[in-house]
A and B are shown apart, each in its own frame.
Chain A
């Protein structure tokens, strides 16, 4: 569009910033609830993890599981909290709901991509949480003798993971163009992610013969990967290699969204919205 290209390029960022602000305000409008949600989402899963380790090591009397001691496990659990808070939210559900309810049509009138718009709105509170977690992580790192820069790199990886998570979610949400119950696909995805991202258990305790399962999805980049790097269990070289893999997933995810939404949208429009 000729008209659009006349606009200065910074203008294209205006709506993104606005959407970010709006999303942040929306999520924190009820502060107490926001706080409750973040705390609840953090404390309970951690407590459950810790309980498992307690049962394994203290009650069960094990000294080492897959090369990890009780201390290693608890460390893993605590640090994984910082990243599981940053892991993708539920805004892919919002997409499927938009399609199902037909409200998508309202968005088509706006000069912004709906997939991107919903992402930016949804990611706003996550960015806020990520920066807080980063500060906490760095302070903890200083205290316990981990390199704070590792924490920084790990947080970058977790944010990349957040994008990949949404890309996959958005692609799956596009099944909503064909099927009313698309949200269930997203629920199934989230359950699989909870196991394979490493937020429930460190992935290296998987039996050797099953390790390939988590290695073949990008989910471990959300939580397990960042924790490994932050705690110094990955070398810098390994980290950069994993970031390389992450960027391949990013590109793949981008293509996936383009194609699935392109097809879906064509169908949506041909059915009259």
Chain B
């Protein structure tokens, strides 16, 4: 099967304005008479394509524009400029065929009605999407088996645990077999086990049904395990587009060193010529293991590029006694965290 482009995004920008209210009576009246607006740019020209059947992770700090992008792609809001196409449709026109073939799940907004048993809530979805009864039964069977929730179908949704509820939400979102699925933080608030099960389900569904899935998450486990490609947004701009593995390989390495001496950060900066940000005296990926040999020497972490490793180490050894050293590849989480920090710094 040759893959086709299902989502095309060309230089999409989105700014929105919000009324600015001043304090007190005057402000309230002012708001009625001549409102003042503040303008924000949520997306500053984003361009990418997504192939059918792919599983794409969309990441970025809060306010980076992820949800805005999802809303544009699912047709809830129009882009201020630029062009977005999903399955050949212009999303914001929301033609019925478009709505029939997409699905949007927001981890923080329930779409199923809480005071009904899931099976009744699903029945409404069947009617709305005009799913033939036989097909509906088959799909419900497949999905409840995959999710292992068959026994909860007749329980009121509000009585389910958060994890079970989220599973039901997902089933509800998939019953019409959408070709494109937008997931906004589906694992938010779930415990490790529930999140794992949900991920496993998404992986299987993506592989078996060849649905295109776009996922935003703050949980890097979600991204690492599911997505073959990630898009990173920072302040409305796309700063990375590629496989997650490449990001960690290309990025910096972590040089872990233990010294007999206990130099300050300033001294280390002077010796190695690295910036304060690249030197981590206290925390670190493996901070918990630092005293495994019983000594109370603390590990120091240097975030360095591959070609800087040798020179930095040399400079350190010329000044201090190195007791122990090692190289660690950075986790995705760490890399991303540093990307976010760059934005602030």
Contacts and interface: CB of A to CB of B under 8 A. Distances in A.
A31 B29 CA distance: 10
Nearest to B31: A32
Interface in B6-60: 25, 28
Contacts of B28: 31-32
A249 B228 CA distance: 75
B274 to A, nearest CB: 52
A31 B28 CA distance: 8
Interface string B112-126: 000000000000000
B114 to A, nearest CB: 15
Interface string A23-35: 0000000011000
Contacts of A31: 25, 28
Nearest to B32: A32
Interface residues of A, number: 2
| Interface range for B | under 10
Nearest to A33: B28
A29 B169 CA distance: 37
Nearest to A30: B28
A101 to B, nearest CB: 14
Nearest to A32: B28
Nearest to B24: A31
A102 to B, nearest CB: 15
A202 to B, nearest CB: 38
A31 B21 CA distance: 14
Contacts of A32: 28
Nearest to B29: A32
Contacts of B25: 31
A32 B33 CA distance: 14
A27 to B, nearest CB: 15
B31 to A, nearest CB: 9
A32 B28 CA distance: 8
A31 B24 CA distance: 9
A204 B28 CA distance: 45
A31 B25 CA distance: 7
A78 to B, nearest CB: 28
B271 to A, nearest CB: 56
A31 B32 CA distance: 13
Interface in A9-46: 31-32
A261 B7 CA distance: 63
Interface string A168-185: 000000000000000000
A179 B28 CA distance: 42
Interface string A155-199: 000000000000000000000000000000000000000000000
B150 to A, nearest CB: 32
Interface string A125-167: 0000000000000000000000000000000000000000000
Interface of B: 25, 28
Interface of A: 31-32
3 contacts: A31-B25, A31-B28, A32-B28
The 3 lowest CB-CB distance pairs between A and B, nearest first, are A32-B28, A31-B28, A31-B25
